[in-house]
């Protein structure tokens, strides 16, 4: 507390509200998270590690990493392009584009998965063509990647559009007037201006890409060791009453969430520091 | 010589520029003066190549550059809010234009740094090269922006409201300094401003703009002393305007003749404009304007007197030699208008 500031009196109402918020936090966030780790380690460290080293679990972890490794860069590329276009240029249909970017947020992930089945499934719209060339998308890795890209679509763009709009076009125009090419302007001026926001978007996008359940569940087919991602693997283990293994894999996902939160907080702190430090 | 030929620009339904013609001579310091929304910044951006006209031509030395991008025009542009690159040091900012040159013309790192420091020296910021823009004051940022624009050796320097974001004292110093720099470097410069003092003090010539047209182009003296329109007279300097009737070369206000030194002008309703300093105190006699003083205060070397005129609600402002005693509220004064501009009603509308 700042020296000299009057002591804040805690009224009953304030105590009630704080208690309510803390209680809510404990029951709905902290307790479940704790349960995951307690349950995972309930039989000791041995079974925990065993569950993670099991081939199906390893393959699920590998697939999840692969999907994230494809979906996140795709979203970065798209998010950059979209936010650059929306923030720095005037063109007809700009607001329509913004609405479309938000679509995955408003559509249930299950619907997103079903849409891909209707499109790429054996009996789907493009089914005959895919069969002809022997390409399998549904119940295979490409389908999982597609579903994940759809669900994580808005993360990077949503983060960058307001940031870039706030920064305006002056810096870019200044760079151009000094003889920089469009590419130089992007690399030397735009990218450094948005780097923290971009990193933040990537982080959120990654967390969602690894954790997505609904859409992936619909298109995956749940083939053990082949098309199971970590969240799907957790569900299967749980349904088989293999609680220790289920929670062991789940604890990895929870850990990912915790790391994401820590990095995000660090970034936010750094972000506001940089912005304030830049003044004006 | 920069030539603008019937430049027209539309934003959706709003006509920002209506067939603008303008010539800017080499070495000239030209001000685009106008209220906000007059199109002055749009015109500057079109000259720079940051915006493109819907119709018309932009020529540099006769060469048509209408469709050239800003990078190809060799202009230096100073932005209203400076647009310094926050993540680069001051020296890196100034050297930016050199560091993005194509491979063949790209100077070495030390060469770029040396040139940047030279320019910082020119703008009197030699020891701030390693600071970041966030650590500078407004006036310093302004000069960094200028040094950065000059680094690419532009033929033409364009400044958008160069002093808009600075406080009065810094503004005045920087103005004088910019004027000197312009003369030293032999540049052609165009700047946009809404501040008439700035335009009159700095510019060789002033183009007064309103609603997308240039109302008048001329030296500050011409603009101030011989405004072509009611708008220019109103916008540049303090002006009193009275509705008058023109009868046989005499302006009458409510039946009383108030001004007679008029050449051949149309008869009928007109508008008479005079500056606060264009009056003298007269004995209560014919051809005078009687006012009742409502307030008087010192304005530099004169009394600025605010008064009410019989039959006119809006106050009249006049300057009276402060050698005389300060006029008291309620006092009656008879003013003789020594100089005035007459605008016929149609033109003034």
For residue B209, the model assigns a pLDDT of 95
3-state secondary structure A185-253: HHHHHHHHHHHHHHHHHHHHHHHHHHHCCHHHHHHHCCCCCCCCCHHHHHHHHHHCCCHHHHHHHHHHH
Question: What was the ipTM of the complex prediction?
Answer: 0.82
Confidence band, pLDDT 50/70/90 cuts, at residue B267: confident
The DSSP code for A30 is I
Query: Mean pLDDT over all residues of chain B?
Result: 88
> Which of A184, A279, A280 lies at the smallest CB-CB distance from B100?
A184
By C-alpha distance, the chain B residue nearest A277 is B134
> CA-nearest residue of chain A to B158?
A177
Each residue of A45-103: pLDDT tens digit? Answer: 888 888 888 888 899 999 999 999 999 999 999 999 999 999 888 888 888 988 888 88
> B11 CB near a chain A CB, below 8 Å?
no
Residue A176: which of B71, B101, B135 has the nearest Cβ? B71
DSSP A7: P
Please work out, in degrees rounded to the nearest 5, the angle formed at the alpha carbon of residue A150 by the alpha carbons of A146 and A155: 130
Handedness of CA B91, B95, B97, B101 (dihedral sign): negative
CB contact under 8 A, B96 and A188: yes
What pLDDT digit, counting tens, does each position of B297-331 carry? 998 889 999 988 866 666 889 998 888 888 889 88
- Rounded Cα gap, residues A278 and B85, in angstroms: 10
Chain CA centroid to CA B211, Å: 15
- Check residue A5 and give its pLDDT: 52
| Residue A83 backbone dihedrals phi, psi, to 5 degrees | -70, -35
- Interface residue of A175, A178, A181, A272 to substitute, partner B, most B CBs within 10 Å: A178
Confidence band for B349, pLDDT divided at 50, 70 and 90: very low
Please tell me what DSSP assigns to residue A153.
T
Q: Do B75 and A188 count as a contact with CB atoms less than 8 A apart?
A: no
Confidence of residue B265 (pLDDT cuts 50, 70, 90): low
Q: Which residues of B touch A188 (CB under 8 A)?
A: 85, 96, 100
Closest residue of B to A180, CA-based? B100
CB contact under 8 Å between A177 and B101, yes or no, is: no
Least Cα distance to B37 among B22, B15, B53 occurs for: B15
The reply to whether residue A177 touches residue B70, judged by beta carbons under 8 angstroms, is yes
Per-residue model confidence as pLDDT tens digits over A207-251 = 899 988 888 888 888 777 788 889 998 999 999 988 888 898 899
> Measured between CB atoms, does A173 come within 8 Å of chain B?
yes
Q: How far is the first Cα of chain A from the last one, in angstroms, to the nearest whole number?
A: 29
CA dihedral B46, B48, B50, B54 (to 10 degrees): 20
What's the CA gap between B103 and B99, in Å, rounded?
10
pTM exceeding 0.90:
no
Phi/psi zone of residue B148: left (φ > 0), alpha (ψ -120 to 50 degrees), beta? alpha
Whole-number pLDDT of residue A129: 82
**Chain B CB within 8 Å of residue A166 CB:** no
Q: Counting every residue, how long is chain B?
A: 349
Tens of pLDDT, residue by residue over B6-22, are 999 998 888 999 999 99
Q: Which of B87, B88, B95 to mutate to test the interface with A (most CBs of A within 10 A)?
A: B87
Which pLDDT value is given to residue B224? 93
Q: Which residue of B has its CA nearest to A171?
A: B83
Q: Taking CB atoms and an 8 Å limit, are A177 and B81 in contact across chains?
A: no
Interface contact A279-B134, CB threshold 8 A = yes
Residues B306/B317, Cβ–Cβ less than 8 Å: yes
Alpha-carbon distance B284 to B332, whole Å? Answer: 10
Query: pLDDT tens, B187-214?
Result: 899 999 999 988 998 899 999 999 999 9
The answer to whether B309 and B254 are in contact (CB under 8 A) is no
* B95 and A CB contact within 8 Å: no
Average pLDDT over residues B140-158: 92
Number of other residues whose CB lies within 10 A of the CB of residue A268: 12
Q: Is B86 on the interface with A (CB under 8 A)?
A: yes
Q: What percent of chain A has pLDDT over 70?
A: 93
Q: Give how far the C-alpha of residue B16 lies from the chain's centroid of Cα atoms, to the nearest Å.
A: 18
B52 touches chain A (CB under 8 A): no
By the 8 A CB rule, do A201 and A155 touch? yes
Q: Which of A179, A187, A190, A193 is nearest to B95 (CA)?
A: A179
For the CA atoms of A238, A244, A248, A251, the dihedral, rounded to the nearest 10 degrees, stands at: 80
CA A260 to chain B, closest CA, distance in angstroms equals: 26
pLDDT at A279 over 80: no
Three-state SS for chain B is CEEEEEEEEEECCEEEEEEEEEEECCCCEEEEECCCCCCHHHHHHHHHCCCCCCEEEEEECCEECCCCCHHHCCEEEECCCCCCCCCCCHHHHHHHHHHCCCHHHCCCHHHHHHHHHHHHHHCCCHHHCCCCHHHCCHHHHHHHHHHHHHCCCCCEEEEECCCCCCCHHHHHHHHHHHHHHHHHHCCEEEEEECCHHHHHHHCCEEEEEECCEEEEEECHHHHHHCCCCHHHHHHCCCCEEEEEEEECCEEEECCEEEECCCCCCCCEEEEEEECCCCEEECCCCCCCEEEEEEEEEEECCEEEEEEEECCEEEEEEEEEECCCCCCCCCCEEEEEECCCEEEEHHHHC
**Residues for chain A: how many in total?**
280
Mean pLDDT of B35-53: 93
Calculate mean pLDDT across residues B70-78: 91
Q: How far is A259 from chain B, CA to nearest CA, in Å? A: 28
- Quote the CA–CA distance of A53 and A71 in Å, as a whole number: 25
pLDDT-derived band at B103, boundaries 50, 70, 90: confident
Predicted pLDDT at A278: 46
Query: Quick one: closest CA in B to A190, which residue?
Result: B85
- Report whether pLDDT(A7) > 80: no
């Amino acid at each position: 507390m700042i020296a000299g500031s009057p002591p804040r009196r805690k009224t009953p109402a304030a105590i009630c509200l704080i208690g309510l918020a803390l209680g809510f936090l404990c029951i709905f966030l902290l307790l479940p998270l704790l349960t995951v780790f307690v349950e995972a380690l309930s039989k000791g460290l041995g079974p925990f590690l065993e569950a993670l080293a099991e081939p199906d679990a390893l393959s699920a972890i590998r697939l999840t990493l692969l999907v994230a490794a494809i979906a996140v860069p795709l979203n970065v590329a798209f998010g950059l392009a979209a936010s650059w276009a929306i923030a720095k240029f005037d063109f007809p249909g700009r607001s329509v584009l913004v609405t479309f970017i938000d679509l995955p947020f408003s559509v249930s992930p299950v619907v997103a998965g079903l849409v891909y089945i209707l499109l790429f499934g054996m009996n789907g719209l493009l089914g005959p063509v895919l069969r002809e060339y022997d390409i399998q998308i549904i119940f295979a890795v490409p389908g999982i990647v597609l579903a994940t890209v759809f669900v994580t679509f808005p993360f990077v763009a949503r983060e960058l559009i307001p940031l870039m709009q706030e920064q305006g076009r002056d810096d870019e125009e200044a760079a151009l007037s000094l003889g920089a090419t469009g590419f130089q302007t992007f690399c030397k001026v735009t990218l450094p201006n948005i780097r923290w926001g971009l990193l933040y978007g990537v982080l959120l996008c990654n967390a969602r890409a690894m954790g997505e359940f609904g859409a992936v569940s619909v298109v995956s087919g749940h083939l053990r060791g082949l098309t199971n991602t970590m969240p799907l693997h957790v569900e299967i283990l749980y349904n088989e009453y293999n609680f220790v293994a289920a929670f062991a894999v789940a604890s990895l996902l929870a850990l990912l969430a915790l790391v994401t939160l820590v990095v995000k907080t660090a970034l936010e702190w750094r972000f506001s520091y940089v912005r304030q430090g830049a003044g004006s | 010589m920069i030539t603008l030929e019937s430049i027209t620009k539309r934003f959706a339904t709003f006509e920002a520029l209506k067939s603008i013609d303008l010539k800017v001579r080499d070495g000239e310091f030209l001000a685009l003066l106008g209220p906000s929304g007059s199109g002055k910044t749009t015109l500057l951006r079109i000259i720079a190549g940051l915006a493109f006209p819907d119709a018309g031509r932009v020529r540099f030395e006769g060469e048509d550059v209408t469709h050239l991008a800003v990078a190809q025009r060799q202009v230096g542009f100073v932005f209203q809010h400076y647009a310094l690159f926050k993540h680069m040091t001051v020296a890196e900012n100034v050297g930016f234009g050199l560091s993005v040159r194509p491979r063949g013309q790209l100077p070495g790192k030390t060469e770029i740094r040396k040139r940047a420091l030279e320019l910082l020296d020119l703008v009197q910021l030699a020891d701030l090269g390693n600071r970041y823009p966030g650590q500078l004051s407004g006036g310093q940022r302004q000069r960094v922006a200028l040094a950065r624009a000059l680094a690419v050796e532009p033929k033409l320097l364009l400044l958008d409201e160069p002093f808009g974001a600075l406080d009065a004292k810094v503004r005045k110093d920087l103005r004088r300094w910019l004027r000197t720099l312009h003369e030293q470097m032999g540049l052609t410069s165009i700047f946009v401003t809404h501040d008439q003092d700035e335009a009159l003090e700095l510019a060789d010539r002033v183009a007064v703009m309103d609603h997308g047209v240039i109302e008048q182009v001329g030296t500050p003296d011409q603009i101030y002393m011989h405004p072509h329109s009611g708008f220019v007279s109103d916008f540049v300097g303090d002006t009193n305007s009275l509705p008058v009737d023109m009868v046989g070369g005499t302006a009458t206000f409510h039946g009383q003749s108030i001004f007679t030194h008029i050449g051949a002008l149309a008869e009928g309703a007109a508008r008479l404009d005079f500056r606060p300093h264009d009056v003298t105190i007269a004995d209560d006699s014919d051809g005078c304007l009687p006012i009742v003083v409502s307030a008087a205060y010192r304005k530099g070397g004169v009394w600025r007197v605010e008064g009410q005129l019989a039959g006119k609600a809006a106050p009249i402002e006049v300057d009276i030699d402060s050698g005389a005693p300060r006029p008291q509220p309620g006092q009656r004064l008879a003013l003789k208008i020594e100089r005035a501009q007459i605008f016929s009603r149609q033109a003034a509308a």
